[in-house]
Chain A
Amino acid sequence: MSDFLRFEFGRALRNRRYYVFGLVMPTLFYLVFTKAMPAPPGTSASAREHWSALYMVSMACFGAIGSVLGNLSPTLVNERATGWARQLRLLRLSGGQWLAGKLAVAMTLAALALGIQLAVAGLGGGVSLSAGRWALLAALLWAGCLPFAALGIMLGQVLTPENSYPVTSGAHLVLALLGGLWLPVSVFPSALREVAQVLPSYRLGSLGWSLVLGGTPSELDGVVLIVFAVLAGAAAWLLWRARWGVSAG
């Protein structure tokens, strides 16, 4: 298992898209929108700090969601198409070990993306939180990536090599946009605001926004994320079993 993890992690780190969508783009957006662009005249220092903290959460979520989706969905599609998935079944690696390994690597990439984003904002971006709050924020945002990992595995079972990149990137962008990670949902028309309420991307952001503003996340955030994780996880599991799960000898 540790051999598989090492091997998979090495492959994941060779994927340029991870650096672009998971690390560079969110960090760049964060710096542009909180540092480079002048605040509207009359913005107080505390409003500015709030904005930095909120946008840090948004971009950390954006990068982490992109990391897990990008690492799972197109890769799984490709592994199925090239026959690597079949080759793996000829090695001494069980389906459960394979699935656990894939999940562990994707979640590690998400942790790196989150960690870098929070570090940039905390060390150089004018966001200050207590150590406990930083830790809670990081832990909750990280755990909140699980529903997206389930979604990535599910997409990896149903997409094709032709559509896996556009559909996965599309899902990432739509989740980010409608989930209020780019623009606050308060500027959305009311119908779109309603849509955002049920999106896991909005709920992940919402968790973090509450925390950085000193509040407590709403229970609904957790409920939506867990329900989404269970549904996407069950679908991913059933699809995966149907495709590769033949174990009878």
Chain B
Amino acid sequence: MPKEPLSPLPPGAPASAARPLFAVELRNVTVHPKGLERPVVAGLDLMVRTGEVVALLGPNGAGKSTLIDVMLGLRPTNEGEALVLGRPAREAVEGGLTGALLQSAGLPQATTVASLLRFAVAVQGHRIGLEELLARTGLKDLRNRRADRLSGGQQQRVRFALALAGDPDLLILDEPTAALDPQARRDFWRTLHEVTAGRSVLFTTHLLEEAERHADRVVVLRGGGVAFDGTPQALRALGADMNEAYLALTEEAA
């Protein structure tokens, strides 16, 4: 049985605080897996304000996936605090406040798109109707197809629908367009903007133009810490163009 939806505030809290100021608050987070000489993430601070769209950039191994795991409560921190919408990260997931699309997460065999999403909508507490979810993510025509037999782009839409199934306040998207062709990528961003009005979004990408076009703010990671945190315009201003600015930031001696 799904857990009771978490109320956004303890009883008696002032109405002005009904919406937490931050969707994500990582304070002094260190993740140091056993057996590794250096921490993967070291003393990192990262805030995402409510309603903000933030792009998390950085070379492979910079700690992006680790941080995402921390924000989803899938990985404990050695030090520091990870709050999502004012709650411990895992609680936010279990309360249905966070929806996520992970590269490492996939679709099950032996189920149709509709039955998979019907289950997801139900287990997330019926906060959105199945038909509405299918329509929002462009899956109406695929509803009776086997989920594991769809094309890469279609499967990505189903995974995005799973992320939206709880009508979450925060969306965490790990390289949501990595496997998509240019048309599918354009469609994905179009859908995202349609469905995310008012939600907080954190996404990772290796495509700088996606960060520039779709994010309010860009955070660049390097060696487990934050190398840059500001608007896309500010990042671009650091070099001749976005690419050069990014490369200069991430290739500097750590």
Q: Which residues of A contact B (CB under 8 A)?
A: 1-4, 6-7, 10-12, 14-15, 75, 78-79, 82-84, 86-87, 89-94, 97, 246-249
> In the complex the two chains form, what is the Cα distance from A75 to B125 in whole Å?
26
- Report the minimum CB–CB distance from B84 to chain A (whole Å): 9
Residues in B with CB closer than 8 Å to A79 are 108
In the complex, which residues of chain A have a beta carbon less than 8 angstroms from the beta carbon of B73? 248-249
In the complex the two chains form, is B76's CB within 8 Å of A92's CB?
Answer: no
Residues in A with CB closer than 8 Å to B12 are none
8 pairs, A vs B, C-beta closer than 8 Å: A2-B1, A82-B148, A83-B106, A91-B124, A92-B2, A92-B94, A92-B125, A246-B75
CB pair B75 A90 closer than 8 Å: no
Give Cα distance in the complex from A4 to B91, angstroms. 20
Q: Which residues of chain B have a CB within 8 Å of any CB of chain A?
A: 1-3, 72-76, 82, 88-91, 93-96, 98-100, 102, 104-111, 115-116, 118-120, 122-125, 148, 159, 162-163, 165-166
* Additional A-B contacts beyond A7-B118, A75-B109, A87-B106 (7; CB < 8 A): A2-B1, A3-B119, A14-B110, A90-B93, A90-B102, A92-B93, A249-B90
Residues of chain A contacted by B94 (CB below 8 angstroms): 92, 94
In the assembled complex, the CB of B36 is this many whole angstroms from the nearest CB of chain A, namely 17
| B102 engages A91 (CB within 8 Å) | no
- The CA of A89 and the CA of B76, in the complex, are separated in Å by 15
Q: Given the known A-B contacts A10-B111, A86-B102, are A92 and B72 also in contact in the complex, defined by CB atoms under 8 Å?
A: no
B108 adjacent to A91 (CB under 8 Å):
no
Closest to B103 in A: A83
Known: A4-B123, A7-B115, A10-B115. A90 touches B109 (CB 8 A): no
The answer to whether A6 and B119 have CB atoms under 8 Å apart is yes
Residues of B within 8 A of A87 (CB): 102, 105-107, 159, 162
Give the docked Cα–Cα distance between A3 and B94 (Å). 16
Closest Cβ–Cβ distance, residue A246 to chain B (whole Å): 6
In Å, the complex CA distance between A91 and B120 comes to 7
Query: Which of B98, B107, B119 has its CB near the most chain A CB atoms (within 10 A)?
Result: B119
Is B108's CB under 8 angstroms from A3's CB? Answer: no
Q: In the bound complex, how far is the Cα of B18 from the Cα of A58, in angstroms? A: 63
Complex Cα distance A169/B125, Å? 38
Cβ-closest chain A residue relative to B75 = A246
Point out the residues of chain B lying under 8 angstroms from A14, CB to CB. 110-111
A244–B75 alpha-carbon span in the complex (Å): 11
State whether B108 touches A84 (Cβ < 8 A). Answer: yes
Given A3-B123, A4-B119, are A90 and B72 also a contact pair (CB < 8 Å)? yes
Task: Give chain A nearest CB distance to B108 CB in angstroms.
Answer: 4
A249 engages B120 (CB within 8 Å): no
Per the bound structure, the CA–CA distance linking A248 and B108 in Å amounts to 25
In the complex, the chain B residue whose C-beta lies closest to that of A78 is B109
Q: How far is the CB of A16 from chain B (nearest CB, A)?
A: 10
B32 to chain A, nearest CB (A): 14
Q: Bound state CA distance, A192 and B105, in angstroms?
A: 45
Cβ distance A82 to chain B, nearest Cβ, rounded Å: 4
